[in-house]
Amino acid sequence: MRISEKSGSEVDMGNVGSMERRGFLKQSLSAVALSVAGGCTPGERSGGSAGAVDPDRLHRDAIVIDTYGSLYLEDFQKGHVDAIVHGIGVEEIFRSDAREGIIDPPAVGKNICENLFDGPDVVKRVLQRVDEILQQSVRQHPDSVELALRSSDLKRIVRAGKIAVILMLNAGWIANDLAVLRMYHRMGIRVFALTHIAAFEWVDSSGELNSKSGLSDFGREVVRECNRIGMLVDVSHASDQAFWDTIRSSSRPVIATHSGCRALCRVQRNLTDEMLRALAGNGGVVGIFTVPSYLDTKALNDMMETRFLPDYTDRDLRLAQRHSDPWEIAAAMRNTLDSHSYVEEIDLPPIDAFLDHIDHAVKVAGIDHVAVSSDNEPVEDLEDRSKWPNLTQGLVKRGYGDGDIRKILGENFLRVWDQAAGTSM
């Protein structure tokens, strides 16, 4: 199957109208192809009732959590997913290199991506984004969606037949101030990604390295403060060294909300087997995601060859030329995203590619340390969240028992969230 023009109605922009999904573009900058390695080995299983008789019923009865994505209107239909870890970001734009007319991704460590805002301005933009989500989206649909601040909230919301939303900040925009981190937590953000595509001075990412890689002393303070206030730390976009520094600095379990296995697809964003074992030793969880270019080497090569960047970069260049003020660019970018479509020509990998990564993570890290996420990207038979029951069917076919499937679909995330928050399920 090939994918072309994808669209959806997204809630998180504060506009409950039609909004086009950003597709593979946001992934392309951080996809650093290394080489092909390995195949799939069926995952080890733990105890549990083997061979669910009715996968559809199991999916309905289980708590199904997408550990990284954005809330879409179609998710209000009960039975697809029960909860979504909603990544909050601020709009990013290609600067320097893009404005010079260079449309290919720059080399790792060289101006991969810069935020439209810096320092206190980016904090203000985060506050606006949280307000947009809460005021104009979640609270406009009280019968369909509700904010979850703890696992008990999530379970209550699910029992009421609604979608639970867990707020996550998808990069560490705290203006080097731990008080800002604490403020985010008071506002309802419960998952904190150290970094995204671009590095901060206190932590580098898999897409952009600092001269001294990993966490700085302040970065270690950030991790320890997250532990103290009960914020779940996400290492999905962290560089390898930042990952290891986080594991060593954290007294509580951490999560990789949206990652794959580097043994199956050698992309820098994916986790090595050593990392998977360390994450398990920490008590943490990896959310295996459905992004084609991180699951399948052919999809990665196709993406790099076809280069979707010109369409995306042209839009950013037009906005930058039209508006000198970054706040105007942000407003215009939201409007553009509402009506913008991307025509992509990528062969979607089969659902088996996704299941292969789950199997591998289970084999290496163990059944208690694997979850699932979408990052709003498709594979065959999982083109959107309405198809997520196919995931449960696929796990049944691969021999996972009911108990193990429930862990992968949601219980593992609930456990690590509780442990990070200092509570028990």
Query: At residue 424, does pLDDT exceed 90?
Result: no
Q: What gap in Å lies between CA 391 and CA 383, rounded to an integer? A: 11
pLDDT at 93: 58
User: What is the number of H-type helices and E-type strands within the chain?
Assistant: 17, 15
pLDDT at 385: 80
pLDDT at 320: 74
Domain range summary for the chain, segments of one domain joined by +: 2-421
285-289/370-373 β-pairing:
parallel
Among 107-121, 331-345, 406-420, top mean pLDDT goes to 406-420
Q: Which fold has domain 2-421?
A: TIM Barrel (3.20.20)
For residues 30-54, average pLDDT: 44
Amino acid at position 142, single letter: P
Q: What gap in Å lies between CA 372 and CA 66, rounded to an integer? A: 6
pLDDT at 314: 63
Q: How far is CA 99 from CA 96, 111, 193, 315, in A?
A: 5, 12, 28, 12
C-alpha torsion angle, residues 222, 227, 231, 234 (rounded to 10): 70
Q: What gap in Å lies between CA 154 and CA 161, rounded to an integer? A: 11
pLDDT at 75: 62
pLDDT at 74: 63
- Does the reported pTM lie above 0.85? no
Which tops the pLDDT comparison, 9 or 376? 376
Q: Which of 41-50, 192-201, 375-384, 401-410 has the lowest mean pLDDT?
A: 41-50
What's phi and psi for 41, nearest 5 deg? -115, 130
Question: Tens digit of pLDDT for each residue in 181-209?
Answer: 999 999 999 999 999 888 889 999 888 88
Question: Tens digit of pLDDT for each residue in 76-110?
Answer: 665 688 999 999 887 665 544 433 333 344 444 43
Q: Which of 18-32, 137-151, 239-253, 405-419 has the lowest mean pLDDT?
A: 18-32
